[in-house]
Amino acid sequence: MTIALIGYGEVGRILAEDLRARGMAVRAYDLKLDKADSAQPLREHAAAYGVALAASAADAAHGATLLISAVTASQAVAVAAAVAPALPRDAFFLDLNSASPGAKIQAAEFVQAAGGRYVEGAVMTSVPPYRCRVPLLLGGPHAAALKPRLDELGFAPTVHSVELGVASATKMCRSVMIKGLEAMVIESFTTARAHGVEDAVIASLQETFPGIDWERQASYFFQRVIEHGRRRSEELREVAVTVREAGLEPFSAAGTAERQARMADLADAGVFGARSEPGFARSTDWRTEADRLLRSIKETGS
């Protein structure tokens, strides 16, 4: 089986490592390969794991038995349109992107019009702890046909629905809560830190929700948002679209998207240290990052 990965970020590299460990031939493409300042780490990783890098998404798709799309939400439909003509007939296109049901249906139209078999995949929790075994909901008329192949590759898929958009809707609704909780913790805990009441706030939360280690959870949330806020903000904009498709105004999803994007802007500006630093977004105490955030606000007035 020849596997093409479109998107060679954190998720794409993890999948590449696990697939190569099973002896699969893997080709990959990422927009960052076209930029001198971001290409080198990807090239070094590919060389270390025996991943062939393609010159374009369409080049990666040529001859692939399975193509996995793991890009940012805003690129989900564009990738499907770009690679569909290059895919062999009956090749599987597994869309892991955090896009709205409408976007998934639109992407499927490009793939299926070209003779490919589109399957939506909803990744239901953070990938790094689980790697290929991350809980994965499959959707669409070709989901059942793809499942045994993914099982053989070490994935942990569940066929969720034969109807496209259902798996994605499930993930989008979950993200209102999970990504929203990240944003709320950053806002609440940073504000509490500024007023010197963080210990009292955490003690109260611990009493109300005793099953959550709020210190550890807050540190994890700060880390993930600082490191991946850009991707999360794009996902939340897709979540907002999903909410609107249901006829509701996405107050929570839209606000969360803005908070995640703002944290990404600050990370890019070096507020939390340089991304190349070993300790970037890896503090075991959320207070370290909250203090950096407050210091930036004091210095810039915003």
pLDDT tens by residue, 65-95: 999 999 988 899 999 999 999 999 999 999 9
* Domain final position from 119, 145, 164: 164
61 shares a domain with 157:
yes
Instruction: Give ∠ CA 207-285-188 in degrees, rounded to 5.
Output: 55
Residue with tokens 């290059």: 86
135 shares a domain with 175:
no
* Domain final position from 164, 187, 218: 164
7 shares a domain with 149:
yes
Residue 19 CA, distance from chain mean position? 19
Q: Which residues make Cβ contacts (< 8 Å) with residue 225, sequence separation at least 6? A: 182, 183, 186, 232, 260, 263
74 shares a domain with 130:
yes
For 43-75, letters b (16+ CB in 10 Å) and e give eebbeebebebbebbbbbbeebbbbbbbbbbbb
Q: How far apart (Å, rounded) are the C-alpha atoms in residues 86 and 57?
A: 9
Residue 156's pLDDT is: 96
- Residue 230: which domain range? 168-300
Tell me the Cα Rg of the chain. 20
Q: What is the pLDDT of residues 163-216, one digit of tens each?
A: 999 999 999 999 999 999 999 999 999 999 999 999 999 999 999 999 999 999
Q: How far apart (Å, rounded) are the C-alpha atoms in residues 81 and 95?
A: 12
199 shares a domain with 103:
no
254 shares a domain with 175:
yes
105 shares a domain with 35:
yes
127 shares a domain with 111:
yes
Q: Give the pLDDT band (50/70/90) at residue 301.
A: confident
Give the SS3 label for residue 160. strand
Q: Which residues make Cβ contacts (< 8 Å) with residue 282, sequence separation at least 6? A: 223
Percent of the chain with pLDDT over 70: 99
Which phi and psi angles does 140 have, rounded to 5°? 115, 165
The type of residue at 255 is G
Helix (H) / strand (E) containing 193: helix 166-195
Using the predicted structure, report yes or no on whether residue 58 has a pLDDT greater than 80: yes
Q: Which residues make Cβ contacts (< 8 Å) with residue 173, sequence separation at least 6? A: 242
CA distances from 254 to 45, 64, 125, 185, 224 (A): 35, 37, 21, 16, 19
CATH number for the domain harbouring residue 202 = 1.10.1040.10
183 shares a domain with 71:
no
Structure token digits, residue 88: 């062999």
Residue with tokens 């193509």: 67
157 shares a domain with 17:
yes
Residues linked to residue 122 through DSSP beta bridges, in sequence order:
137
194 shares a domain with 89:
no
Q: Which residues make Cβ contacts (< 8 Å) with residue 37, sequence separation at least 6? A: none
259 shares a domain with 138:
no
- Dihedral of CA atoms 235, 143, 94, 146 in degrees, nearest 10, equals 150
* Domain final position from 124, 148, 164: 164
CATH number for the domain harbouring residue 80 = 3.40.50.720
Structure token digits, residue 53: 């890098």
Total domains in the chain come to 2
Report the range of poorest mean pLDDT among 35-44, 137-146, 199-208: 35-44
pTM of the model: 0.86
Contact (CB, 8 A) for 118 and 140 = yes
